[in-house]
Structure 1
Amino acid sequence: MPHINLLPWREQQRKQSQNKFVTILFFVVLGSFISMYLLSSYYGGLRDGQNIKNNYLTTEISQLDRRISEIRELDKKKENLQQRMRLIEELQSSRNLGTQIMDEVAKIVPTGVYLTKLERRGSAIHVVGRSESNNYLSNMLRLVQNSYLLEKPTMQGIIAGEKSSRLLSDFNMEFYVKPFDKIGEVK
């Protein structure tokens, strides 16, 4: 057999294989770039959508915060109005308190006890007077304890009568007006 040179054919086949390889490599690289671009676009779209949602939530949260502050202001106004209403109710119910105190003092003072001074300081009432007997004073203390309006009677002192009126003893007594809520419960 004569000598046949197969090298050009091999070289052509090698060039074709290389061209094929370069073409496949080009399409793989191109496909990779396209797929990376598509993935990047997809995730970029997701990120943009999430940013839009976050911005929407931020605006809604700020609106809710404003509403909450308005509600708190309304609650403060409501509490203020309720406090005023309680004060007005208390003033309304205690409007006749002075008259009620005088009426109750008239009921608790037994015969034989004479008041010379009656003074009110806040809820304390200081009484100065004269008594024919200590039994009358103890009866007066019991009546104060049983009163719906008065409480905490304390006898501060009993002094025997002076030379001009030995039959009468001078006394100092103090008792208190019950707080508004206790008066309302008892009535």
Structure 2
Amino acid sequence: MATINLLPWREERRQQIKTEFLVILGAVVVLGAVIALIVMSAYNSAISSQEARNAYIQQHIEVINREVAEIKDLEQRRQQLLDRMSIIQSLQGERPLIVRVFDEMVRTLPDGLFYTRIDRSDKRINAEGVAESNNRISSLMRKLDTSPWFDNPNLADVKAADILGDQASSFKLSYSISAPAPDEDK
């Protein structure tokens, strides 16, 4: 004989499937939340670790920048000292030269002529003076031209001047300093 089940088994089956679905859905949501927390925790840990490394590097960069600034300051002071030393050495080297130049200026100065003003800029001497006559100025120019210590004498101006009732000539000239070879200055 055939058995007929009249109980609402389909309704129970639907209810069982619905309950299983809700349990699985809850488990998936909880699992997703746990995974999200783990991932977020890992990212936060990586970010804080990178920030710590950045702070460490920034601290060392500041220390190195201070050291670089000190090195630049020391190099600048060193260059200033080297410049001072070179100036002192050049002045020490020129000391005998200027004495010889003044000595040669006196040797080339003829009688009856004197300088009223002398300027030196680098290797160029500009002079002003008064002479008893134009012949004395010509004599000075010849002596400057033949001097081993002076080059390129250039007479810029000659004027008649009245000095204490005497007729005289005022003049302006310039010439270059040229140190002779060591055997010529004896």
Deviations 1:51-107 (A, max 9, x none): 012111211211121012101211221122122112212221222344121233255
Structure 2: give runs of 5+ residues left out of the alignment: none
Deviation at 1:155, TM superposition (A): 4.2
Checking the alignment, whether the CA contact within 8 Å between 2:130 and 2:171 is kept in structure 1 is yes
* From 142, 145, 149, the counterpart of 2:145: 142
Percent sequence identity over matched residues? 22
Q: Which residue of 2 aligns with 1:157?
A: 158
Q: Residue 114 in 1 paired to residue 117 in 2? A: no
Runs of 4+ with >4 A deviation: 106-109, 147-152
Deviation at 1:158, TM superposition (A): 6.1
Given the two structures, how large is their TM-score scaled by the length of structure 2? 0.70
Q: Over aligned residues, Cα RMSD in angstroms?
A: 3.5
Q: 1:149 to 1:42 in 2, by over 3 A?
A: farther
Aligned AA (1:5): L
Mapped to 2, the partners of 1:10 and 1:75 lie a distance apart of 95
Given the two structures, how large is their TM-score scaled by the length of structure 1? 0.70
Q: Residue 174 in 1 paired to residue 184 in 2? A: no
Mapped to 2, the partners of 1:122 and 1:132 lie a distance apart of 24
Q: 1:35 to 1:151 in 2, by over 3 A?
A: farther
Mapped to 1, the partners of 2:77 and 2:53 lie a distance apart of 36
Structure 1: give runs of 5+ residues left out of the alignment: none
Mapped to 2, the partners of 1:87 and 1:115 lie a distance apart of 39
Q: Secondary structure at the match of 1:42?
A: helix
Aligned residues: 171
Q: 1:150 to 1:88 in 2, by over 3 A?
A: farther
Deviations 1:128-166 (A, max 9, x none): 34568475344245347xx55565532421659xxxx99
Q: Which residue of 1 aligns with 2:15?
A: 15
Q: 1:17 to 1:115 in 2, by over 3 A?
A: farther
Mapped to 2, the partners of 1:131 and 1:114 lie a distance apart of 11
